[in-house]
Amino acid sequence: APGRRPLMAGNWKMNLNHLEAIALTQKLAFSLNERQLSEVETVVLPPFTDIRSVQTLVAGDKLLLGYGAQDLSPYDSGAHTGDISGAMLAKLGCSYVLVGHSERREQHGEDDAVVNAKLKAAIKHEIAPLLCVGEGLAVREDGEHVAHCTAQLVAALKGVKAEQAASLVLAYEPVWAIGTGKTATPEDAQEVIGALRAKLAELYSVELAEQTRILYGGSVKSKNIAGIMAQSDIDGALVGGASLDVEEFVLICRYR
């Protein structure tokens, strides 16, 4: 859409060994030329343990592949064994951090309050939150998907002021489409994403809503990306499985 630079983010989840992570990053940086990277912002979200390597690989490269993390602690420091803070991620040069991914919500019991606290922690450390919302199959079958996703958005943004929301990126990820090979139709994705944009306008302003990028995620592949990107409110994709395959991910980034 006009004025919004497309964003393709690869969520590696808990995959790849250290050498594979390095190889994937190098191949990706090699495959995308300067024009492609300037037109379509391309970001990888490795496991925490590979972020330092990715940072080293892209440092000083003017092509600048972006990178970020898959999660962060709501706290800045302290007795939180095993957790990673926004301050730590900021020191590693992370530009983005996923917040509220459905796998975190489901497997770690992250509720709206936790998602809200994590979102605020990301903003505090000047890392753009990539906030994920999405409904499960039962909610969609009940026709409550728009209400569910807009409610998740409102809850995640509770107490967040307009100036703090400027770096926000949203991702609509229907849970039934993640890792299942079932993609939402472009029209179904547009319906929810359009409603999320309208909700942002209501919460903040039309300007903020118009400048915020909203991605689709859920079994995105090179063969379905063009139809998704043709929708007026969809500004990119959050890609899981297909981001582990360099050729596929490059084709997704070159969708146009």
List the binding residues.
Answer: 11-13, 179, 219, 240-241
Is 34 designated active site?
A: no
Smallest separation (angstroms) from ligand PEP to the CB of 7: 13
Member of 68, 86, 100, 217 binding ligand PEP (CB under 6 A) = 217
Using the rule CB under 6 A, give the single segment among 76-84, 107-115, 157-165, 239-247 that binds ligand PEP: 239-247
Nearer to ligand PEP, 50 or 173 (CB): 173
Using the rule CB under 6 A, give the single segment among 54-62, 114-122, 212-220, 245-253 that binds ligand PEP: 212-220
How many angstroms separate the Cα of 101 from the Cα of each of 44, 69, 94, 97?
15, 12, 17, 10
**Phi, psi dihedral angles at 76 (to 5 degrees):** -85, -30
Is 135 designated active site?
A: no
Nearer to ligand PEP, 12 or 204 (CB): 12
Query: Does residue 41 bind ligand PEP (CB under 6 A)?
Result: no
- Judge whether 53 and 17 are in contact, CB under 8 Å: no
Smallest separation (angstroms) from ligand PEP to the CB of 163: 28
* Active-site entry in 41, 110, 173, 248: 173
Site for ligand PEP in 66-105 (CB under 6 A): none
- Judge whether 99 and 126 are in contact, CB under 8 Å: no
As given in the structure block, the two tokens for residue 204 are 């903040």
How many angstroms separate the Cα of 4 from the Cα of each of 1, 38, 50, 152, 181?
6, 12, 29, 23, 28
Smallest separation (angstroms) from ligand PEP to the CB of 137: 14
From 4, 5, 6, 21, select the one nearest 70 (Cα to Cα). 21
Q: Which helix (H) or strand (E) holds 96?
A: strand 96-99
User: What CA–CA distance (Å, rounded) separates 166 from 234?
Assistant: 18
Nearer to ligand PEP, 139 or 239 (CB): 239
Using the rule CB under 6 A, give the single segment among 16-24, 29-37, 53-61, 240-248 that binds ligand PEP: 240-248
Smallest separation (angstroms) from ligand PEP to the CB of 1: 21
Smallest separation (angstroms) from ligand PEP to the CB of 6: 16
Residue 171 Ramachandran class (φ > 0 left, ψ -120 to 50 alpha, else beta):
beta
Site for ligand PEP in 139-198 (CB under 6 A): 173, 178-179
User: What CA–CA distance (Å, rounded) separates 75 from 16?
Assistant: 28
Query: Does residue 11 bind ligand PEP (CB under 6 A)?
Result: yes
CA 208 to chain centre: 18
Residue nearest to ligand PEP (CB): 240
CA 88 to chain centre: 19
From 126, 116, 97, 210, select the one nearest 157 (Cα to Cα). 116
Q: Which residues are catalytic?
A: 101, 173
| Interacting residues with ligand PEP (CB under 6 A) | 11, 173, 178-179, 217-220, 238-242
